[in-house]
């Protein structure tokens, strides 16, 4: 599990990268994605529904149905996926979990984390699904 994003968000990113690597005219089933990426199918189904509702995916029902990207992989950024699934929690909450951590009452790593967090935000705003799909080396993609 990642230090920053939820497991649900990790799975969403992985699933969308998988879809970005497929021919755009193909509809890919949840079953196929879940099997290839070793993600629990029921959990993935809920994630995919959320991503569809947020306009990142489109779905088609029926025998040859499945999911596809709602727009070009070059137009969907990792930031879009993170915001759709996790919102801005990773930008608001203390990395050490201190409930009262703030600019006025910082935890011991507040300033360092703020700089790192801002760098992460900039990185995920620049990385598109297309970029990720071209760079991925994980088996199964």
Q: Summarize pLDDT for 79-98 with one digit per residue, the tens.
A: 999 999 999 887 888 888 89
Fold of 7-135: Arc Repressor Mutant, subunit A (1.10.10)
Strands (E) in 4-108, as ranges, are: 57-60, 66-69
Query: What is the pLDDT, as a whole number, of residue 64?
Result: 81
pTM (two decimals) = 0.88
Query: What is the pLDDT, as a whole number, of residue 62?
Result: 82
Over 90: is that where the pLDDT of 4 sits? no
Strands (E) in the chain, as ranges, are: 57-60, 66-69
**And the tokens for 121?**
């935000």
d(CA 39, CA 31): 10
Give 114's contacts (C-beta < 8 A, 6+ positions apart).
none
> First and final CA of the chain: distance in angstroms?
19
Residue entry with tokens 């951590």: 101
d(CA 81, CA 54): 9
Averaged pLDDT for residues 29-54: 95
């Amino acid at each position: 599990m990642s230090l920053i994003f939820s497991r649900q968000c990790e799975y969403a990113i992985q699933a969308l990268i998988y879809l970005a690597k497929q021919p755009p005219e193909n509809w890919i089933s949840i079953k196929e994605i879940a099997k290839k990426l070793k993600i629990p199918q029921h959990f993935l189904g809920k994630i995919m529904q959320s991503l569809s509702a947020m306009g990142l995916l489109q779905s088609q029902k029926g025998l040859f149905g499945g999911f596809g990207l709602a727009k070009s992989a070059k137009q969907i950024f990792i930031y879009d996926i993170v915001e759709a699934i996790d919102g801005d929690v990773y930008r608001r909450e203390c990395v050490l979990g201190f409930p009262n951590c703030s600019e006025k009452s910082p935890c011991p790593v507040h300033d360092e984390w703020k700089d790192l967090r801002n760098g992460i935000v900039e990185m995920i705003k620049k990385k598109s699904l297309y970029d990720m799909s071209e760079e991925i080396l994980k088996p199964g993609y």
